[in-house]
Amino acid sequence: MTEVIRKIVLATRNMGKLREMREILREVKVELTTAADVGAPEVEETGSTFEENATLKALAVARASGLMAIADDSGLEVPALDNDPGVHSSRYSTEGTDAANNVKLREEIRRRGLTRPPARFVCVMVLATPEGVKFTVRGEVEGEIREEPRGESGFGYDPVFFCPELGKTFGEAKPVEKESVSHRGRALRRLAELLVPELT
């Protein structure tokens, strides 16, 4: 009997996220493709929460492709900054680049006289079919913001996010180390647990 491999669209064009998601889902027997590969349109993130944005993207890509789609919305929350950058993490600065976003974050922290403020990375992941949402999961990892960036791995705020579980910033961590504790890794592993019964 031939094993049926289901195709799932990863509704992101962020190459850093794609690499992480493909690595974590490598044990799940699915064929992973991207929104760009199936010609799905880019979806504007108009929601006010991670859940709303992930749902918007997953449903839009699932309906455009006719396939299952996984979308996530994730970001950094610093409670002392009223949970900013939050849903605006990727476009926190005017330029919207990783470097500019990190500079703005550190400037805001200094402006408020903070030292190593607690922070958390949050990831909400949604799996949808053309008919609607099937699963919504959430992953978080706690840490703190360091003044000086350290490490060149990862992307986004990784160089300034110190993770006590690893004893280093995400920027210093090897991919396998980061995946073991990251917000996206935790959300994806939970989603994989829910997904496996759907594929059998």
Which residues are annotated as catalytic?
73
72 vs 100: CA distance, rounded Å: 23
Among candidate residues 185, 194, 195, 196, the one with its CA nearest the CA of residue 72: 185
Residue 98, φ and ψ in degrees, nearest 5: -55, -45
State the first-to-last Cα distance of the chain, in angstroms, to the nearest integer: 13
Report the alpha-carbon distance of residue 199 to residue 29 in Å, rounded.
8
CA gap 6, 61 in Å, rounded: 16
